[in-house]
Amino acid sequence: MEPQTQAKKSNLVLILDYGSQYTHLITRRIRSLSVFSLCINGTSSLDSITELNPCVIILSGGPHSVHADGAPCFPSGFIEYVESQGIHVLGICYGLQLLVQNIGGVVKVGEKHEYGRMEIEVQKNYGLFGNKQIGDKQVVWMSHGDEAVKLPEGFEVVARSNQGAVAAIENREKKFYGLQYHPEVTHSLEGMETLRHFLFDICGITAGWNMEDVLEEEIKVIKAMVGPEDHVICALSGGVDSTVAATAGTQGYRRQASLYKERERVMATFESDLHLPVTCIDATEEFLSKLKGVTEPEMKRKIIGKEFINIFDIFAHDLEKKVGKKPAYLVQGTLYPDVIESCPPPGSGRTHSHTIKSHHNVGGLPKDMKLKLIEPLKLLFKDEVSFCLLQLLHASPPHYFSLSFQTDLNYFTPLTSQVRAMGKIMNIPVAFLRRHPFPGPTCCPIPGDVTAGNSLDILRQVDEIFIQSIKDAGIYDEIWQAFAVFLPVKTVGVQGDQRTHSHAVALRAVTSQDGMTADWYYFDFKFLDDVSRKICNSVRGVNRVLLDITSKPPSTIEWE
């Protein structure tokens, strides 16, 4: 991280993380503007901040109240430091409240809490809204209970919500700015325009950062950690994230999952199209036997995480017998979203984020791992990794020892249109480039006991019908992610003039840019009618089909 940061420090936007689930979206949005951004813990020492020498600092949102005991805050001397260095500071949501509370203002519990889409109105047509007119309105995404009721000296309100609450503030002389809403989420319709105006027009930043810098740095990191004689196991799902991590390494073992005919399709892609040697080891029984009777989502994740590593430990031992040296490292395609959603709750000493779900490759890993982790991509987002994949595949591929084990679940990543175009030139199969993500091993779309009855077989069949119908309708590329969910409930129905008591299934399809926020896909009613009929007529044991129409937030994309 340090060489990369130092190379770009004169143009670095530093985000101090106070626990918002959107924090890393800020990082991603800024990078999409060709500006390097880096996120660190909001309670990092002042020395840690000054060493990075940022030109802009953003204080993220968070789940806390500034009045709560132990509420996270920037370090002592922070305000004096940024003023003396002329650093622009932008507080977002909780970050705005931190600024107000710590430099002479007052924050109190709001009379009316504001959550979700809200409308704000511009009060001043300069500073943050210098490209707007007084009275202009825009829809933003709010998520706060406290609000600023008295501003510090020198600050002024530049926008208010339709409920009258402070929505944006600034002190142009001291270069302090604040937004009570989240400009980084897609629900804030003009949020990117506001961030762009702030960075380029107010802060005077010059765009110039690109993904080639990340690619070069990540390869350096791996070469520095792993010696030429070391053996490395790479954990792959067959998706973009882990494929990049493995391709960047020197030797890898491929993990392959399956959903209905996914195993056959993906194996064919790697062997016939990408010419990667793959040995498939079916570990379904190992996983399902450990999950039998388990219904609590976090417990499932911990069990899967432990077994996930156990499989690699066993294979590492077998490999040692063959090559005479035991692998010491496990390379994973862990990404920013995996890390932020797996963060433990406040008080752990690690972060202030709340655990949304422990990913098998982050929060689900056992503490007594025998392999050392290498996670070269954990500062990256999915579309950034997609870019890296194409760059790496374009280079001479390394030699692979390939391990593939089947878990009945899979996780794939979509590519942007630009990356897809590059992939075509490099003869990467279009079907691979167009793949949706799919819930990972610890996001099983079966709430409750995954081994109960024939739930897995029913899920495979329903999902096959759903996804194929989407493809047949020509709307596959309009959707970020789609999948079926098996519900552990039975409902009464009538099939063949007889009463049935069968299972209900749910269909989930969302649109998104990065997976951190999402909205449900608006299907045509006839499409839904056709799919429902196909499922109920073709899949024995199903007599009811539901559609999930919840956005993220308040839900997550997956059900567990």
Residues recognised as catalytic = 93, 182, 184
* Burial environment of residue 527 by CB neighbours within 10 A (0 to 12, 13 to 18, 19 or more): middle
Residue 168 near residue 159, CB atoms below 8 Å? yes
Residue 68 neighbours by CB under 8 Å, 6+ apart = none
d(CA 334, CA 339): 7
DSSP state of 156: E
Residue 487 near residue 503, CB atoms below 8 Å? yes
The distance of Cα 134 from the centroid of its chain, to the nearest Å, equals 36
Binding-site annotation: residue ranges for ATP: 237-243
d(CA 422, CA 433): 10
DSSP-derived secondary structure for 519-550: EE----HHHHHHHHHHHHHHSTTEEEEEE---
d(CA 232, CA 254): 11
Which two tokens mark 392?
A: 């790496």
Which two tokens mark 56?
A: 């802009």
Written as one letter, the residue type at 457 is D
Using alpha carbons, select from 152, 497, 139, 440 the residue that is nearest to residue 305. Answer: 440
β-partners of residue 147 are 108
Kindly give the pairing relationship between strand 106-122 and strand 156-161.
Answer: antiparallel
Using alpha carbons, select from 444, 480, 409, 415 the residue that is nearest to residue 558. Answer: 444
β-partners of residue 88 are 56
Residue 253 near residue 315, CB atoms below 8 Å? yes
The distance of Cα 107 from the centroid of its chain, to the nearest Å, equals 31
The distance of Cα 445 from the centroid of its chain, to the nearest Å, equals 18
d(CA 338, CA 332): 11
Name the phi and psi angles at 143, rounded to 5.
Answer: -160, 75
Buried b (16+ CB within 10 A) or exposed e, 55-76: bbbbbbbbbbbbeeeebbbbee
Binding-site annotation: residue ranges: 237-243
Helix (H) or strand (E) holding 482, with range, is strand 481-495
354 vs 68, 148, 338, 411, 517, CA distance in Å?
A: 15, 24, 13, 23, 16
Helices 284-291/297-323 angle, 10° precision:
150
The distance of Cα 500 from the centroid of its chain, to the nearest Å, equals 40
